[in-house]
Every structure is written in C-alpha cells, then in structure tokens.
Amino acid sequence: MKTPLNILCTIIILLFIINTNSNAQIFQDDFCAHNDKFFRKKEKWHGNNQFLYDYIANYPLQNSKIHYRVPLTFWLYQDNEAKHGASEIDVKKQINLLNYYYLTNNTGISFYLKEIKIVKKTKRQTFGYFFEAPFVTSLNKKNGSINIHLVQSLQKRKISGNKILYKGTFNGVNKSITVVRYNAKAGLTHEIGHYFGLKHPHKNWNKGKQKQESVSRTRKKGNKLNCELNGDKLCDTPAEPSLSKYIDQDCNYIGDLKDNWGDTYTPVTNNIMSYQRYKSCRQIFTTQQKAVMLYNLEKNTNYNAWHISADNIKYSFDQFEPDDTKKLASKFFIDSLQYHTFHKIYNGKNRKDVSNNIDWMQIKCTQDDHQKITINIYKGEFDFPKMKLSVLDSKNKIIEEHILDNETSVKLELIKGYYYIKIENISQSTELSDYKIKITKSELEIKN
Ligand SMILES: [Zn+2]
C-alpha cells in the first residue's frame, strides 16, 4: 500500500537514522523484527477464546485435509551481475519447508508458487529495515498472493550506531514478508504466521501487570481471563519470556523467571511463533493459533480463490512443485510413481489466471556402462493432455523429444551423469489436466 502516511513515516525515519554512526555492529542475529505493537485490532477472541474453539470446529483438519491453497510471489534480490543473492533453489527449499510445517501441524493450509521475480541490484544485498524494507516491498508487489522478499541480509541500524541483523520480518502495513535466504527451518513459517494474524507468545512479557500475560491460566483481569486479554491473547500458548536467552541446545527452558504475580514461568519451547535461539525447536502451532489463521484466511480479500471449493479445482497443484524450470527440477528415483498436474495459478482479482504447464525432473545415472531405462507416462484422473516430452543431458543438449497423445513408454540408453526430463502441456489449455510418470530400468537391463 503506497499511502501518503506510509511515505511520510519512511521519510521521518530516514531523517532519524541518517546521521548515525555505522562502525559498530552487533551480530545479534535476532529472529524476527516484526513489531506488532502498532497493530491493535480488537478481535472476537480477545476476552473470549471459546470463540476460536467454536470456529475451528467447522474445519475438519484430520489427515492433513487441505482447505486453502495460497499462492506465493517470491522476490529474489541479487547483485547487478546476478552472481550472488537469493536463487530459485532457495525458493524451492522455502516452499518445501513451509508446506512441511503447515501440513504436519494439520493447519488445513498449503502453499504454491505463483511467480518468481528477480531484482538485480547490488545495493539491495543488505536490506535496511527502516527505509528499504517498507519502501521496496511496497513497490514490489503482486496482487492475489503473499509477497515474500528473499534477501541476503536484513539489518536494523539503531540510533546508537549499532546494527542488528534479523532473520525476517512481516510488514503489517503492506502485508509483505522479508526473510534472509539462509533462514533455518521454520523462519518463513513464523513470518507467514504473522501474516495470518499470529502474535509472539511472549508479547509484552517485560511489561507491567496491565499488559503482561500471567503464568496462571485462571487469573482474572476484570471479569475476563488475563491470558485472553494480555500477551498474544491466546490461553493455549503458555505465558513465556522471550526465550532466546533462556533455552539450551536441546530446546529445554533454562530460565528461572517469575511473572509480575510471582509465578515461575513454565513455557513450552516448541511453538513456531516463539523466539528460540535454536530454530529446530520451532515445531508446532496450537489449536487456537490454527483457528486464528483460518479465521483470518476467511476474512482475506482473496478468500474466494484461495479457499478450496468445486470452482477452485483448477488450482490443484502437485507435491513436486515448484518444478517449472531446470533449476527447480524435482529429483526422480527409479521405480517411484509421480503424479503431476498442469493447473491454473490465481493471478489476482480481475486478472486472467496463469497456466502452470511445464514440469522438470532430474534423474541420475550412476552406472559407468550404458543404462537402459524406460520412461512410462500414464493417464491421470482427467483426460490425457497432449504433451511434449524432452530429455536433456546436463549440457542442455536435447537427446530425445516426443509428442505424446496417449499413454506411452519411451526407451532410453544413458551413460553416467545427470539428465533432465521436461514435460510440457501443449494441449489447448483446459481447467486442469494431469498425468502419472514412472521410470523403470528396461527389461533388458535386469540382471541379478
Ligand atoms: Zn515474529
């Protein structure tokens, strides 16, 4: 959102930091620079967490049932020569991790790639928190998707001259996410949690009784529960201090802190929205956190396209995506069966959907002598789409090319090395089409 207020704030902040000393640098490497103090919206569950339990009862979440497919636009910041900086490989890794955490937590939410945009500008290698992040992320924005900016480093320069490096941030005004490319494990998942309305469980932990969440779950604030009104306002995330200084490598809480009422903290240490120093500790969303995310998804302006319905079957993506380029190729193992779809990508309101029509796969031949393999293409659940199958060697030389009108087997003889299979949908674009593929060793090859 390029509001005048946003631009004015940016100018003021710029003036504020312009004369600071840049010599000192603290490699604090903090986790998330998102400041949720400025966003105080009264929600239905504030003072009434039962609302969330009633709400989530509408969502069957067992067996990884998916209710939302959310498209992501990735902005990759590279140097002028495109030699350094975030790459497509980072995108694949980040989407895989994101889907892993959202699926294993049975959130009902999944993610697919809408588009990758590359920004070649050496000066953007260090992303400034105060000026650059809000400004650049307001300009670089694709509607209908969550915009994720993958940067080399994210730096907040304090008035004292100290610099603090962060792993990521969520901008509550323009709804953008910025994460550093070397962001371990659940870093992006945490920031997406902010996008869907989650707060840090330690919010206001160092404040007085008016704002601090009490350890006790039954402590009252007026006629409501303290844990429903203070901290992250969710009672199923225990009160906790910012964990970064109070956690060991095995994710044990090692602090001895008490809240303002004298009760000793007994935090869990595996919540994705917490500040654990060791990010592998981040594993779970609680039931109330999942309900908050689903509630906010229902209120999202893109609800009609992101929500899974009979009308939205065209957005069904497969588990090997993103695999639209050679760099994004998914690994293929002999004898495994892969199911792929050619689907539509939501492109924002009043815009035409985009087609996802190319799949890349990588195979590795390990034998020194010639290896005979067969690529078998089978019909999926829908009509067989007319496709073009190409096999390329690692030097991009096309060694096989076939137009496929029906289920087919293609025999190949390969020597040791990496090969790429490219499958393109060349039929007149339909809503959704699919196929299955299996690579086997040819019969001739079978030896004991
Ligand atoms: Zn955060």
| CATH number for the domain harbouring residue 159 | 3.40.390
Flag whether 407 is in a domain. Answer: yes
pLDDT of 444: 52
Flag whether 277 is in a domain. Answer: no
Q: Report whether pLDDT(34) > 90.
A: no
Say how far apart CA 227 and CA 213 lie, in whole Å.
6
Q: Which residue has the higher pLDDT, 4 or 66?
A: 66
Helix (H/G/I), strand (E/B), else coil: 244: helix
Band (61; pLDDT cuts 50, 70, 90): confident
Flag whether 259 is in a domain. Answer: no
- CB-CB contact of 131 with 13 (8 Å): yes
Pair (191, 325) in one structural domain: no
Residue 311's Cβ-count burial label (10 Å; 0-12, 13-18, 19+) is exposed
Q: Report whether pLDDT(193) > 70.
A: yes
Report how far ligand 1's centroid is from the alpha carbon of 195 (Å): 10
Say how far apart CA 63 and CA 45 lie, in whole Å.
27
Q: Which two tokens stand for residue 1?
A: 């959102």
Flag whether 118 is in a domain. Answer: yes
Flag whether 408 is in a domain. Answer: yes
> How many domains is the chain built from?
2
Query: Amino acid identity of 142?
Result: K
pLDDT of 32: 73
Tens-digit pLDDT profile for residues 257-278: 999 999 999 999 999 999 988 7
Flag whether 232 is in a domain. Answer: no
pLDDT of 113: 98
Report how far ligand 1's centroid is from the alpha carbon of 243 (Å): 12
Pair (185, 327) in one structural domain: no
Report how far ligand 1's centroid is from the alpha carbon of 65 (Å): 26
Pair (23, 155) in one structural domain: yes
Closest by Cα among 382, 388, 390 to 343: 382
Flag whether 275 is in a domain. Answer: no
Give the rounded percent of residues in the chain with a pLDDT score beyond 70: 90
Q: What pTM was estimated for this model as a whole?
A: 0.89
Flag whether 126 is in a domain. Answer: yes
Say how far apart CA 238 and CA 112 lie, in whole Å.
32
Report how far ligand 1's centroid is from the alpha carbon of 35 (Å): 8
Report how far ligand 1's centroid is from the alpha carbon of 420 (Å): 39
Strand (E) or helix (H) holding 115 = strand 109-120
Q: Which of 160, 195, 230 is the last residue of a domain?
A: 195
Domain hosting 399: range is: 315-445
pLDDT of 123: 87
Closest by Cα among 406, 407, 400 to 422: 400
Report how far ligand 1's centroid is from the alpha carbon of 127 (Å): 17
Q: Which two tokens stand for residue 221?
A: 């604030």
Ion ligand 1: protein residues whose beta carbon lies under 5 Å: 32, 34
Say how far apart CA 235 and CA 184 lie, in whole Å.
28
pLDDT of 36: 67
Tens-digit pLDDT profile for residues 380-433: 999 899 999 999 999 999 999 999 999 999 999 988 899 999 999 999 767 899
Q: Report whether pLDDT(367) > 50.
A: yes
Report how far ligand 1's centroid is from the alpha carbon of 191 (Å): 6
**Mean pLDDT score of the chain:** 89
Q: Which two tokens stand for residue 346?
A: 């939501």
If you count them, how many residues does the chain have? 448
Residue ranges of E strands in 251-397: 330-331, 337-345, 354-356, 358-365, 371-379, 387-393
Tens-digit pLDDT profile for residues 426-443: 997 678 999 999 999 875
**Rg for the chain, CA atoms, rounded:** 25
Q: Which residue has the higher pLDDT, 445 or 225?
A: 225
Tens-digit pLDDT profile for residues 291-343: 999 999 999 999 999 999 999 999 999 999 999 999 999 999 888 999 999 99
Q: Which of 166, 195, 224 is the last residue of a domain?
A: 195
- CB-CB contact of 43 with 201 (8 Å): no
